[in-house]
Amino acid sequence: MTAKQSLLIGQGKQMNSKGHVFVVDDDQDIRIHLGDVLKQLGYSVSDFGSAIEFSKSARQISPAVLLLDMRMPSMNGLDLQKNLSELGWQLPVIYMSGESHNQEIIDAMKGGAIDFLWKPFAQSQLVQAIDKGMSLDAHNTKQNQRLQQVAFLHHSLSLREKHIFALMLRGYGNKAIAALTGVMADTVKKQRAQVLAKMQVHSLVDLLAFCKDFVPEIHSD
């Protein structure tokens, strides 16, 4: 097993460092220099000589950022950024470039890149961009884990409870839900309590906060 491979094992695991930096650049000297500097600063690093190599070998870990050269043979930075987006990998991208057209920069930022560094760049600029990306990736990971937990608990609800759950998220009270579902308000009150218990929250306020950005379908039975 190579040193590079050992850094990439364990999808989803947090590295014992300030975070992980993927470096993708076809210039070996730049990769070596960045790797040395970043490791001294407390980051773990893996480097790749092409976007294709990264696509084949990299594994998702968090928190992490991608230091990406804009212009490379075979697959450029924009193509890799697009591929990651299509795969649903929300890896913060920081571009490095010695020469880029305005349209490339616009496309990169529209695609979700968090920063664009012109070579040569100061170490302070690099660290600021990386730490910004680490914070963003940690936040995204936490949000994704929460939504996965919401989906898991939501799956445990009965069809009727899912219907009540969806109406609760839309702000309907007991009387409105009773009118929509054709049951007594007292029954709705009990069903709401069951939903809260199964979703492992204590109040509607807690439910709304826990299920933020989760959009269930309204079921009827």
- Residue-by-residue DSSP string for 65-81: EEEEES--SSS-HHHHH
Give me the chain's average pLDDT, please.
88
Residue 211: is its pLDDT beyond 90? yes
CB proximity list for 131: less than 8 A, separation 6 or greater: none
Specify the DSSP class assigned to residue 217: P
* Confidence at 7, pLDDT banded by 50, 70, 90: very low
pLDDT class for 79, splitting at 50, 70, 90?
A: very high
Q: Which residues contact 106 (CB under 8 A, 6 or more apart)?
A: none
Smallest CA-to-CA distance from 188 within 200, 204, 201 is with 204
What are the tens digits of pLDDT across the range 164-207? 999 999 999 999 999 999 999 999 999 999 999 999 999 999 99
Higher pLDDT, 22 or 118: 22
pLDDT at residue number 16: 55
pTM of the model: 0.73
Task: Give dist(CA 93, CA 81) in Å, integer.
Answer: 8
Task: Give residue 218's pLDDT.
Answer: 52
- Structural domains of the chain, with CATH: 3-147 (3.40.50.2300), 156-210 (1.10.10.10)
Inter-axis angle of helices 77-87 and 102-110, nearest 10: 10
Within the chain, residue ranges assigned H as helices are 3-8, 28-40, 51-57, 77-87, 102-110, 123-155, 159-169, 174-181, 185-198, 204-210
138, burial (CB in 10 Å: exposed 0-12, middle 13-18, buried 19+) = middle
| pLDDT > 70: percent of the chain | 90
Q: Are strands 20-24 and 64-69 parallel, antiparallel or unpaired?
A: parallel
CA distances from 145 to 87, 95, 138, 141, 166 (A): 17, 27, 11, 6, 21
> Does the pLDDT at position 31 exceed 80?
yes
Q: CB–CB of 50/37 below 8 Å?
A: no
Place of tokens 């990306």: 133
Over 50: is that where the pLDDT of 39 sits? yes
Q: What pLDDT, on the 0 to 100 scale, is given for residue 69?
A: 93
The residue ranking higher by pLDDT, 128 or 100, is 128
